[in-house]
Amino acid sequence: MEPQSHSNGSCTDNSLSRRHQSVEPVLVDTAEVATMLSMSTSWVYREASKLGLKGYKLGRGRNAKVLYKKAEVFKWLEQQKIH
């Protein structure tokens, strides 16, 4: 089904409004993970990989950025729940 165009060129199709919605990020940086976990960024760098929270290193050297999959952070957090 083709979207209907009006004389001003606008579309009435829902796909146009979907394009303007914000997209939830898949990857988050270390500062965002620290905020999500109520911990410091230094804790995330130091302890997260030891505890099973794996990051993805983008770049090389000291300026490399470590990103984490948001879904994996939430999954890891759920595994830390005390039953």
The model's confidence at residue 2, banded by pLDDT at 50, 70 and 90, is low
For residue 15, tell me if it sits in a domain. no
How high is the pLDDT of residue 44?
93
For residue 16, tell me if it sits in a domain. no
- Give the integer Cα–Cα distance in Å for 61 and 59: 7
CA distances from 21 to 18, 24, 50, 65, 73 (A): 5, 9, 37, 27, 24
For residue 62, tell me if it sits in a domain. yes
For residue 30, tell me if it sits in a domain. yes
Tens-place pLDDT, residues 20-75: 677 778 999 999 999 999 999 999 999 988 989 999 999 999 889 999 999 999 99
For residue 3, tell me if it sits in a domain. no
User: At 71, which CATH number?
Assistant: 1.10.10
How high is the pLDDT of residue 13?
54
For residue 12, tell me if it sits in a domain. no
For residue 28, tell me if it sits in a domain. yes
pLDDT at 7 over 90: no
- Give the integer Cα–Cα distance in Å for 50 and 13: 49
- What sign has the CA pseudo-torsion 48, 53, 54, 55? negative
Provide the residue range defining the domain that includes 49: 24-79
